């Protein structure tokens, strides 16, 4: 920190890449003027001087925690997802294990800051996009209704249908698959 402060008027922009909780790392492309750098390793970074010159850096978990502990502590909680399956090719009949899922969800909600639930319906790949958009929305509304019945305030719930755009199991178009008929609830 002191070293940084002493370099006051010429301090560079600093970019540091972090691993996710599973240790996976994505990538960031840093551009300034005509220069460009790609970083794709945990705790790798780039310093960018005011004039645009770049220098690659390597930090560690400890140095990032020491320098940015407060910033990292201020991050919102990571969204959690819960999946509800449907009994048959139905928009209304939930699989029996959904009761336990909702109980767990309610326990998480109790400690969540300003919780917002995004309830998104999905279908399998049988049928047209327009048909599945409507069906997935009906599934989302069915789940939303059961959440409201469980006492979750309606203002906290948003519903959407993603149709057949995001199958859990990739199949050919037109194929029925029970695993893909689901509603995913995300607590934000």
Partner 1 sequence: MYSQAIKYALILACGCMAIADACAADAAGVVKTLKGTVRIERPGASPSVAIGSEVYSSDRIVTGPQSSVGITLRDNTLLSEGSDSVLELNKFAFSTTTYEGALDATIKRGSLSVIDGKLAQANPDSVRYSTPTTTLGVRGTEFIIEVGGKGGSAP
Binding site for partner 1 (CB under 8 A): 4-5, 7-20, 25-32, 40, 47-50, 52, 64, 68, 70-79, 113-114, 116, 118, 120, 133, 155, 158, 160-163, 165, 186, 188
CB of 174 to partner 1, least distance (A): 21
CA distance linking residue 16 with residue 58, whole number of Å = 8
Q: Which of 174, 144, 180 is nearest to 162 (CA)?
A: 180
CA distance linking residue 34 with residue 15, whole number of Å = 17
DSSP for 59-127 reads --HHHHHHHHHHHHHTSPPPPEEEEEEBSSS-SS-B-TTHHHHHHHHHHHHTT-SS--EEEEEE--SSS
CB of 86 to partner 1, least distance (A): 19
CB of 99 to partner 1, least distance (A): 26
Residues recorded for the chain: 188
CB of 73 to partner 1, least distance (A): 8
- Residue with smaller CB distance to partner 1, 50 or 93: 50
CB of 65 to partner 1, least distance (A): 11
Q: Facing residues of 117 across strands? A: 157, 187
- Residue with smaller CB distance to partner 1, 100 or 154: 154
Torsions phi, psi for 103 (to 5 deg): -60, -45
- Residue with smaller CB distance to partner 1, 6 or 172: 6
CB of 91 to partner 1, least distance (A): 17
- Residue with smaller CB distance to partner 1, 26 or 174: 26
Q: Which of 22, 28, 26 is nearest to 57 (CA)?
A: 28
- Residue with smaller CB distance to partner 1, 76 or 96: 76
- Residue with smaller CB distance to partner 1, 4 or 131: 4
User: In this structure, how many other beta carbons lie within 10 angstroms of the beta carbon of residue 172?
Assistant: 6
């Amino acid at each position: 920190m002191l070293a940084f402060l002493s370099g006051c008027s010429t301090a560079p922009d600093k970019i540091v890449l972090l691993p996710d909780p599973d240790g996976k790392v994505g990538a960031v492309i840093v551009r300034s003027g005509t220069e460009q750098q790609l970083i794709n390793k945990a705790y790798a970074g780039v310093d960018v001087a005011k004039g645009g010159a770049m220098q690659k850096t390597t930090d560690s978990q400890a140095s990032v925690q020491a320098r940015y502990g407060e910033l990292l502590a201020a991050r919102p909680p990571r969204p959690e997802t819960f999946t509800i399956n449907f009994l048959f090719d139905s928009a209304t009949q939930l699989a029996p294990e959904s009761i336990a899922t909702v109980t767990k969800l309610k326990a998480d909600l109790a400690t969540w800051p300003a919780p917002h639930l995004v309830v998104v319906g999905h279908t399998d790949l049988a049928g047209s996009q327009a048909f599945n958009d409507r069906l997935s929305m009906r599934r989302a509304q069915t789940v939303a209704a059961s959440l409201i019945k469980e006492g979750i305030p309606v203002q906290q719930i948003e519903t959407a249908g993603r149709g057949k755009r995001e199958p859990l199991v990739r199949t050919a178009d037109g194929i029925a698959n029970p695993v893909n008929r689901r509603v995913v609830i995300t607590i934000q």
